[in-house]
Amino acid sequence: MDMANDEARWVARASAGDAAAFRSLVEAHSSALFRVCARITGDKALAEDAVQEAFFNAYRHLREFDGRSAFSTWLHRIGVNAALEQMRKRQRVESALPEDEDAREALAGALDAPPGPERHAASGEIRRDIERELARMSAIERAAFVLRHHEGQSLEEISATLSLSISASKQAIFRAVRKLRATLETVE
C-alpha cells in the first residue's frame, strides 16, 4: 500500500480517536516538520517547541481536516504558524532583555550551547552572514524562502501554507533572495 493510502487511513482512524493511528502520522511527518521549523526559527529548541505545538494543534483540530489538500500540507501550515509564533515569543523575551549590548551578549553567551563543528569549517563566516541575514528578514520572508529553497515546495503550496496569494508568496521569496544576494556580494 502506498504512503497516501496509509496516510488517509491513519487520518480517518485518528479522527475517530485511534491514538496509534495518530502516532503513525507523527512518526511519518515529525522529521520533515522539524526540519522546516528549525530552518524558520533558526533554533533547535524553538523548532522542537513548534513541532510539539503543531502536533498538539493538529490532534485537537484533526476533525476539521477536510482533505482538500494533502495532510502534509495542512500539517506544514500548522507547523509554520507554530514556528512563527515561537519566533514572536522569542522577540518578546529578547525585547525584555537588558538594553546594554554588553549585558545582552554576556547573557546570550551564557545561554548558548558550545559551537558545533560546522562553525569551525572554512565556510563558517559565510554561514554566519547568511544566518544573520535570515534572522533580519521578516518572518514571512524567511518562511517563504525556507519552504521554497530548502523544502522545494511549489508556489501554490507556499501560498496555502502561509495563507498568502501566489503573488505575495513570490514577492516574499524575491525579497529574501535579494537580501541574501546583497549579503553574499559583500563577502566576495
Which of 53, 81, 114 is the endpoint of a domain?
Answer: 114
Cβ 114 vs Cβ 169: under 8 Å: no
pLDDT in tens, 140-152: 888 888 888 877 8
pLDDT in tens, 57-113: 999 898 888 888 888 889 988 999 899 888 887 776 555 444 555 544 544 444 444
pTM score, two decimals?
A: 0.63
Q: Which of the 8 DSSP states describes residue 16? A: T
Cβ 25 vs Cβ 7: under 8 Å: yes
Cα–Cα distance, 64 to 54 (Å, whole number): 14
Q: How many domains does the chain have?
A: 2
Quick one: 154 and 182 in the same domain? Answer: yes
pLDDT in tens, 106-135: 444 444 444 444 444 435 666 677 777 878
Domain span at 54: 1-114
Quick one: 18 and 98 in the same domain? Answer: yes
